[in-house]
Chain A
Amino acid sequence: MKKKLIPTVYRPREDKSFLSVIGKAILFYAILIAFALLFIFPFYYVIVLATRRYNTIFDNPPPFLFGGAFLVNLQTLLRQIPFIQNFTNSVVIAILATGTKIFFCTIAGFVLAKYRFKGRNLILALILFTLTMPKFILIIPLFRVMISLNWINTYFPMFVPNMADGLGIFLMTQIFENSVTAGMIDSARIDGMNEYQIILRLGFPLGAAGLFVLGTISFINSWNDFMYALIMLPNHSAHTLPVALNSLNIMAEGDFGALMMGSMLSMAPLIIVIIIFGKRIISNMLAGSIRGA
């Protein structure tokens, strides 16, 4: 009777033999390694091109091995665009964006999770509203706002609007709802701390896990942001790395080896970080996006 209900399930277990398992493993590894090469090759190749003089880049067949022009390309890069300034801009903006976001989202998340006050539901609704609203809709009016604030070509437009963003507060609220108990807060009060001390002293250590998630997402987004930086930072000295690479790319007399050198240097920090903390960063980003939806 049971057999009739699910007839297709029953198969002789012939494919469990040792050889077929080995064959399967080889096939699977072949597929995975082929894709891994596909994903890694461009990064290898950008290093190859970054170490070659621009005139050998255009050889046929194309070069596949490292050349010796690393320093020459670096010098050309530094001469053609204010690369050190651009790199500094990217670093400062990413740190400012991450630091301010961590601070404001922690205190906001803490009070939303642990205090009951008038207007709490309204604030939660506003946060949900910012989560569904695409940033795309704000870009033109924000551009006008930044012009009237005289903030174009400064660091401010790159981090101020997102200092206390909805996703971060939402994430921290969820973390604090479970990591901080009323008992902890009561005993801190008995110890004579005022409310602000409690929020800072309990919030940062107990929200640490959430802060890493938030920090990762914020740093990576800020480092890679292009569309927004493109209109907010039009001056060459104010460019962040992606915008600077774009202007080098469309520069008529741009040197190709230098362009590849710039691309390599702009990718390097994140690649190094992901090689070291890979697993953690990936799960942080996934958790952030799932919670944000």
Chain B
Amino acid sequence: MLSKQIQKRNIVPYVCLAPFIILFLVFYLFPFIFSFVISLTKWRGTDKMQFVGMNNYTFMLTEDSYFWKSVGNTLWLLIFGYLTQHLIALPLAIIINNRLIKGKTLFKTIYFIPYITGSVAISIVWGHFYNENFGIINYFLELMGLDRLNFFEAALVPIKIAIVVAWRNIGWNVALYLAGLQAIPKELYEAVSLEGASTYYTHTRITLPLLLPVIFFAVTMSIIGGLQAFDEPFMLTGGFGFMGGSGNTGFTLAFYVMWLLQRRSNLGGGTAITWMVSLFVMLLAFINSRITRIIDPGTFEHKTVKKTVNKNKVTEVLPL
């Protein structure tokens, strides 16, 4: 009787994990392997696969000018759209965290709104701001006595994309840094304040070193996001038809992959690029996960989550 019950219990975990296992095999592991197989072939999706070895990779790396163009564009956007914004987000978080400021949550929420609303609608609105004749940005430029700018010019396309990306992501980083700052013990600041330390000294000797893991996490997440940037470049340059605008200056790697898939049915080339990018992303994610272990996730959690997690700090194992 009892042994029968225990036998029945033994299959419970497998029943509950079956959905994960099946979905993992069908929608993760198979596509993962399949994508590598595709990258070694010439395939349009409907015809017979033709094995070409590493040709897709060597073609991309040596002959394809679009590939290198999009690598350059992606890196440019990564630096000026995804990374430079941290230089604004961190000081903003430090200011919000200052004890003189009331309404910390209000500011944090307002800054967060652009991040939470979808990139497509945002890009449409910003696209209108950039309009040469009717756009609000050009209106203000004219008011200041400057010339109107045509934001579809090759040199300006990356800049306009970077501005939208930064505008959208600053709030996320502010919230992240703010949570990190609030986890720093107040006593440390009180101690140096009694000694009469300058603001600069306080921040370089206390804030930055203690915030370093959070900064590392935030920057790595930005790099991972930046390498796969698609929405804003796609929306602000008019979609697949324009290939990133004049001079292809808005053509990022993810955009190029999607273009190869949708417009050229070149699955081999597309997957070859995703593999090259993803190996890099996986390496970053791995390093990130090692370093982020230092951060206590508790500091980022809402008090209800914290309560549940800390209620019973004993990890017990069921005897089966």
Contact = CB atoms under 8 A, between A and B. Distances in A.
A270 B116 contact: yes
Interface string B100-134: 11000101111111101111111011111100011
Nearest to B282: A132
B109 A39 contact: no
Nearest to A266: B121
Contacts, number: 349
A250 B238 contact: yes
Interface in B19-73: 19-21, 23-24, 26-28, 30-32, 34-35, 38, 45
Given A42-B126, A163-B19, A29 B101 contact: yes
B96 interface: yes
A72 interface: no
A210 B304 CA distance: 9
B113 A40 contact: yes
A164 B32 contact: no
Contacts of B315: 177-178
Contacts of A164: 19-20, 23-24
B111 A39 contact: yes
Contacts of B165: none
Nearest to B285: A132
A88 interface: no
A45 interface: yes
B34 A259 contact: no
B137 to A, nearest CB: 10
Interface in B185-241: 192, 195-198, 201, 217, 220-221, 224, 228, 230-231, 235, 238-239, 241
B121 A245 contact: yes
Interface string B163-192: 000010011000110010000000000001
B169 to A, nearest CB: 11
A199 B320 CA distance: 15
B82 to A, nearest CB: 15
Interface in A251-293: 256, 259-260, 262-264, 266-267, 270-271, 274-275, 278-284, 286-287, 289-291, 293
From A108, A128, A134, A206, residue with most partner B Cβ within 10 Å: A134
Interface stretch (B5-13, B154-162, B243-251): B5-13
A214 to B, nearest CB: 11
B300 interface: yes
Interface string A47-84: 00100000001111110000000000000000000000
Contact of A209 (B9, B295, B308, B314): B308
B318 A132 contact: no
A130 interface: yes
B17 A108 contact: yes
B278 A136 contact: yes
Interface string A213-256: 10000001001101100110000000001110110011000001
A116 interface: yes
Contacts of B92: 31-32, 35
A104 B23 CA distance: 11
A245 B292 CA distance: 37
B87 interface: no
Q: Which 6 A-B pairs have the closest CB atoms?
A: A278-B109, A141-B31, A161-B27, A224-B118, A242-B120, A182-B316
19 contacts: A11-B197, A46-B125, A62-B134, A115-B320, A116-B320, A123-B20, A131-B289, A134-B228, A137-B274, A141-B35, A160-B23, A161-B27, A175-B309, A224-B118, A224-B120, A241-B120, A246-B239, A263-B124, A266-B118
Interface of A: 8-13, 21, 24-25, 28-29, 31-32, 35-36, 38-40, 42-43, 45-46, 49, 57-62, 104, 107-108, 110-112, 114-117, 120, 123, 126-128, 130-134, 136-145, 147, 160-161, 163-164, 169, 174-175, 177-183, 185, 195-196, 199, 206-210, 212-213, 220, 223-224, 226-227, 230-231, 241-243, 245-246, 249-250, 256, 259-260, 262-264, 266-267, 270-271, 274-275, 278-284, 286-287, 289-291, 293
Interface of B: 8-10, 12-17, 19-21, 23-24, 26-28, 30-32, 34-35, 38, 45, 92, 95-96, 98, 100-101, 105, 107-114, 116-122, 124-129, 133-136, 139, 167, 170-171, 175-176, 179, 192, 195-198, 201, 217, 220-221, 224, 228, 230-231, 235, 238-239, 241, 254, 257-258, 261-262, 267, 270-271, 274-275, 277-278, 281-282, 285-286, 288-289, 292, 295, 297, 300-302, 304-305, 307-320
